[in-house]
Amino acid sequence: MSTTEPKLDEIRTGEVSTTRQCREVVLMTANADKTKVLTEFLESNDIKVMPALTGKLALDLIDRHCADVVIYDYDCKHLSLPEFKTLARRMHSSVTIIAFGPKWDGKTQHHADYYLNEPVAHRELLHALTQYANF
């Protein structure tokens, strides 16, 4: 059994691909450790990460780069998930929001396209990207 992390191409097709795409995500979290771990993992899967420490910066990145995916840390206190979703969809109507955080309370689940409980499992994050963001 392999101890290496799954790669996005392997999750999507079941085999390793020799072609590479440039894919971009906005990673909205104010936690440096989460940013580092998720950025390293995503970049190892040829995904460009644009970190955003605040909701304002995340919205600016969506607007300037037409980012198709936002990975939203539920612990961000700068902008609530419902408010963020409303503003993000005004800029880019098809942006996919993948949120993660502690066990969900059921009140805000409908504000994101996909939810991950912490700690974030890399395989589940890749699954969300392939199923909900067409990566």
Whole-angstrom Cα distance, residue 65 to residue 114?
22
66: left (phi over 0), alpha (psi -120 to 50) or beta: left
pLDDT number for residue 52: 95
pLDDT number for residue 74: 87
Q: Where are the domains of the chain?
A: 22-132
pTM over 0.85: no
Element (H, E) at 58: helix 55-65
pLDDT number for residue 135: 82
Whole-angstrom Cα distance, residue 28 to residue 122?
17
Tokens 């605040």 locate to: 54
pLDDT number for residue 108: 59
Nearest to 54 by CA among 89, 85, 24, 84: 84
Half-sphere exposure of 108 (CA within 13 A, CB side): 22
**pLDDT mean by block of 10 residues, the chain; 135 residues:** 54 48 86 94 94 94 93 87 92 92 69 88 93 85
CATH 1.10.630.10 fits 22-132, yes or no: no
pLDDT number for residue 109: 61
CA angle 70, 72, 73 (to 5 degrees): 160
Sign, CA dihedral 38-42-44-49, equals negative
